[in-house]
């Protein structure tokens, strides 16, 4: 269990921890000199079974809210510290709002300095606190008067912490580990050490880790929990990890230590953004914000999808866009502060850690986020697959983005597959039916446009269609999608070409006559055919139809494209190939001059034909001649 303090400066958080544990969490010389907590401090509390609860002491001064936020993540039990002689103060309210945004659920109010006030005053302060915390996660929390100086109420507070610990649900330690880094330092003889609260999974000694967002890899050479070396650390523990293979400057506060491949960097987040009820101002679309998540602080811009601004107390769906990559998980909570002035304004929950860029103002974007947040497991998986389909995102990556356990994911996947709401490309890639329908419509549009432009061709070659229809996609998966479309009756695949299922090549009488004329022209020309421009010149009134006819004759292999603008009739090509093979069989090879004389043509046409057979892989050069390949 991780316990975190909160409260106004000088209300006695650090002294209370010392009274509970005997540990002074103020470690910096400046903290000792000024008598206030500046950065995070750490201690532990012995529990009845011999285990230890980690304690994170946060600064209360408004100037150090950034450091407070770095310690607010991963807290299981909040110790809200309020001095009896002061009562509720500005930072009390701000910390309370921050912890609510971070989805804190359990808490105790410690009414410190109880020895400094009369009993009547103590009761009035407690009553005022009860009113102030109404409607928050602390609404039903006990308010315990304590004195760190005299020891009054310390035993009762410790007993209440133990009661909370006993009823706290177990953490999931089966998955990949995740530790937001709050300190980085070097130890002589060991090297780089990072500390933080393990919020997910487990990590064994010598286990491999990845540092996000940099992607640096390292090995956990040693692991300590509360200054004791351990073989394995678990979620809910304060850990120190000795990273073999990394320098101190390779890591910083705000980084995340996690299992390799467990997270994915992104510059876009889908979120539900909530503005604090007592925020001094509204939050407008496009506002620049400080984004606090884990132990990090990053600048971002808020894109509201449904409205132009959110007033205090309102929430809405949006996207956060970042100038650099960050690593988060769906389901994580965050806090936001204005860029300037630096005031806490709100925060919320991350719905999608790697979404597509969404267009604001349309119902579709907000509805996608609503399903992601409020829908069933099947709704969430279907929406994630729909978002990932345009990029053929692997199913394993989709799975890693969702806050679903193995059982929930498998059940949702089975339901969607049986209902036909998702379709396989291969065993690693699935797409949503909605995305498939969109692609099908685009395929129909692409083929229809091609057929209109080339009515005498059987259809585009598959590779050409793939480039027009699915530019930039992985060839293997694009072909799988094309085959899926064929099985669904959206396209007819024949040999190397594709066409709409109902498309048929149909010559008009004029086109049929023109095709016969052109074919006879090339047959009569034999080994000295005209160029394409010369053919066009012979039919000056039929240029558009002639273009279609020539394309069709080339597609049907009636004409052979021997060189640019130079075509031979296939009968001439077959005749020349027969002459070449017979000559080589008799002489061993054939030269350009020999072939020219053999077929009775010029050097230009003979060279074009020989190079054509070279390109086809039928012949190859050998010295001054050519042999069969």
Q: Give per-residue pLDDT as tens, 243-281.
A: 998 999 999 989 999 999 888 899 999 999 999 988 888
pLDDT of residue 59: 66
The boundaries of every CATH 2.40.30.10 domain in the chain are 178-258, 265-365
Helix ranges, 149-291 (H): 154-167
Q: Using CB atoms within 10 A of its CB, is residue 175 exposed (0-12), middle (13-18) or buried (19+)?
A: middle
Alpha helix (H) residue ranges in 303-376: 363-374
Q: CA 522 to CA 554: how far, in whole Å?
A: 12
Q: Residue 414: helix, strand or coil by DSSP?
A: helix
Decide: helix, strand or coil at residue 479: helix
In the chain, % of residues over pLDDT 90? 58
- The candidate with the shortest Cα–Cα distance to 84, out of 31, 37, 147, is 147
12-54, pLDDT tens digit by residue? 888 999 999 988 876 656 645 555 555 677 888 988 888 888 8
Architecture of domain 435-499: Orthogonal Bundle (1.10)
Interval 449-495: pLDDT, tens: 999 888 888 889 999 999 999 998 999 999 999 999 999 999 999 88
Q: b/e for 153-170, b at 16 or more Cβ within 10 A?
A: bbeebbebbbebbeeeee
* Element housing 569 (H / E): strand 566-569
Give CATH 1.10.10.10 domain extents, the chain: 435-499, 509-628
**Residue 24, C-beta contacts closer than 8 angstroms, at least 6 positions apart:** 14, 18
Q: Provide the pLDDT for residue 102.
A: 81
CB 239 within 8 A of CB 196: yes
313/276 Cα distance (integer angstroms) = 5
Largest Cα span, the chain: 123
**Do residues 103 and 334 lie in contact, with contact meaning Cβ atoms separated by under 8 Å?**
no
Whether pLDDT at 194 is above 70: yes
Mean pLDDT, range 137-157, rounded to an integer: 94
CA–CA gap between residue 617 and residue 251 (Å, rounded): 56
CA distance 209 to 456: 60
CA–CA–CA angle 236, 239, 241 (5° rounding) = 140
59-86 core/surface letters (b: 16 or more CB in 10 A; e: else)? bbbeebbebbbbbbbbbbbbbbbbbbee
- Report whether CATH 3.40.1360.10 matches the domain 2-167: no
Residue 602 confidence (pLDDT) above 80: yes
Measured distance CA(240)–CA(220) in Å, rounded = 10
**Tokens matching residue 622:** 């050998």
- pLDDT, one tens digit per residue, over 565-574 is 899 999 999 9
CATH architecture assigned to 178-258 = Beta Barrel (2.40)
pLDDT band at 147 (very low <50, low <70, confident <90, very high): very high
d(CA 175, CA 406): 10
193 and 185 in contact (C-beta within 8 Å)?
A: yes
Structure tokens belonging to residue 129: 């606190």
Q: Which residues belong to CATH 3.40.50.300 in the chain?
A: 2-167
Looking at CATH, the fold of the domain delimited by 509-628 is given as: Arc Repressor Mutant, subunit A (1.10.10)
Task: Kindly tell me if the per-residue pLDDT of 507 is higher than 60.
Answer: yes
Give mean pLDDT, residues 350-363. Answer: 85
Containing H/E element for 287? none
pLDDT, residue 38, reads: 56
Among 70, 80, 533, residue whose Cα is nearest residue 292: 70
Q: Does domain 265-365 have CATH number 2.40.30.10?
A: yes
- Other Cβ atoms within 10 Å of 141 Cβ, number: 19
CA dihedral of residues 337, 342, 343, 345 (deg, nearest 10): -30
Closest alpha carbon to 269 in 349, 374, 153: 349
What pLDDT does 28 receive?
56
pLDDT of residue 95: 84
The vertex-53 CA angle with 17 and 92, nearest 5°, equals: 45
Which residues are registered as beta bridge partners of 179? 257
H runs (alpha helix) in 307-453: 363-374, 377-388, 395-401, 406-419, 433-453
Burial class of residue 471 in the structure, from the number of CB atoms within 10 Å of its CB (0-12 exposed, 13-18 middle, 19+ buried): exposed
- Where are the alpha helices (H) located in 254-405, listed in sequence order? 363-374, 377-388, 395-401
211 pLDDT higher than 60: yes
Say what the pLDDT of residue 562 is. Answer: 92
pLDDT tens digits, one per residue of 290-320: 999 988 899 999 999 989 999 999 999 999 9
Question: Which tens digit of pLDDT belongs to each residue from 542-557?
Answer: 788 888 888 888 888 8
Pairing mode of beta strands 566-569, 344-352: unpaired
For tokens 């052109």, the residue is 518
Which value, in Å, is the radius of gyration of the alpha carbons in the chain? 37
Global pTM value: 0.75
């Amino acid at each position: 269990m991780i316990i975190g303090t909160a409260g106004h400066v000088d209300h006695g958080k650090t002294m209370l921890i010392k009274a509970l544990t005997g540990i002074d969490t103020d470690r910096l010389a400046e903290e000792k000199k000024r008598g206030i907590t500046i950065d995070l401090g750490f201690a532990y509390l012995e529990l009845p079974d011999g285990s230890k609860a980690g304690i994170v002491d946060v600064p209360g001064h408004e100037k150090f809210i950034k450091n407070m936020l770095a310690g607010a993540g991963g807290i299981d039990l909040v110790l809200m510290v309020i001095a009896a002689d002061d009562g509720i103060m500005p930072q009390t309210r701000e910390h309370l709002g921050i912890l609510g945004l971070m989805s804190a659920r359990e808490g105790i109010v410690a009414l410190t300095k109880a020895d400094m006030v009369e009993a009547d005053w103590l009761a009035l302060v407690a009553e005022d606190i009860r009113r102030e915390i109404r409607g928050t996660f602390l609404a039903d929390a006990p308010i315990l008067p304590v004195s760190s100086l005299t020891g009054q109420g310390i035993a009762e507070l410790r007993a209440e912490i133990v009661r909370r610990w006993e009823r706290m649900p177990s953490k999931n330690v089966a998955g990949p580990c995740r530790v937001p880094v709050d300190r980085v330092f070097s130890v002589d003889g060991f090297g780089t050490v990072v500390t933080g609260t393990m919020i997910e999974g487990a990590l064994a000694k010598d286990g491999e880790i990845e540092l996000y967002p940099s992607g640096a890899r390292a090995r956990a050479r040693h692991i300590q929990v509360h200054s004791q070396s351990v073989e394995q650390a678990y979620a809910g523990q304060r850990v120190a990890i000795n990273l073999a293979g990394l320098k101190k400057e390779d890591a910083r506060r705000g980084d995340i230590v996690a299992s390799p491949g467990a997270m994915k960097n992104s510059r876009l987040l889908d979120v539900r953004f909530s503005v604090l009820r007592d925020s001094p101002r509204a939050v407008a679309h496009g506002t620049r914000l400080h984004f606090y998540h884990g132990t990090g602080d990053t600048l971002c811009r808020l894109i509201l999808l449904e409205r132009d601004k959110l007033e205090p107390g309102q929430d809405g769906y949006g996207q956060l866009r970042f100038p650099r990559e960050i690593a988060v998980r769906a389901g994580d909570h965050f806090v936001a502060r204005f860029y300037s002035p630096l005031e806490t304004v709100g925060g919320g929950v991350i719905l999608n850690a790697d979404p597509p860029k969404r267009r604001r103002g349309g119902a579709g974007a907000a509805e996608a986020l609503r399903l992601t947040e409020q829908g069933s497991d099947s709704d969430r998986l279907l929406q994630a697959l729909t978002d990932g389909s345009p990029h053929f995102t692997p199913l394993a990556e989709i799975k890693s983005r969702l806050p679903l356990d193995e059982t929930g994911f498998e059940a949702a996947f089975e339901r969607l597959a049986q209902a036909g709401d998702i379709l396989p490309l291969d065993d690693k890639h699935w797409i949503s039916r909605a995305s498939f329908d969109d692609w099908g419509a685009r395929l129909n549009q692409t083929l229809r446009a091609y057929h209109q432009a080339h009515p005498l061709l059987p259809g585009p070659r598959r590779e050409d269609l793939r480039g027009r229809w699915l530019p930039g996609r992985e060839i293997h998966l694009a072909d799988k999608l094309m085959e899926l479309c064929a099985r669904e009756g959206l396209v007819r695949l024949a040999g190397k070409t594709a066409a709409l299922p109902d498309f048929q090549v149909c010559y008009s009488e004029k086109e049929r006559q023109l095709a016969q004329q052109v074919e006879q022209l090339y047959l009569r020309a034999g080994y000295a055919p005209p160029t394409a421009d010369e053919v066009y010149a012979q039919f000056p009134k039929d240029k558009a139809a002639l273009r279609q006819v020539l394309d069709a004759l080339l597609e049907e292999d009636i004409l052979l494209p021997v060189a640019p603008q130079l075509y031979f009739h296939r009968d001439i090509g077959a005749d020349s190939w027969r002459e070449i093979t017979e000559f080589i069989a008799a002489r061993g090879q054939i030269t350009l001059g020999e072939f020219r004389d053999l077929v009775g043509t010029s050097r230009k046409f003979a060279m074009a034909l020989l190079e054509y057979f070279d390109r086809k892989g039928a012949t190859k050069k050998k010295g001054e001649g050519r042999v069969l390949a």
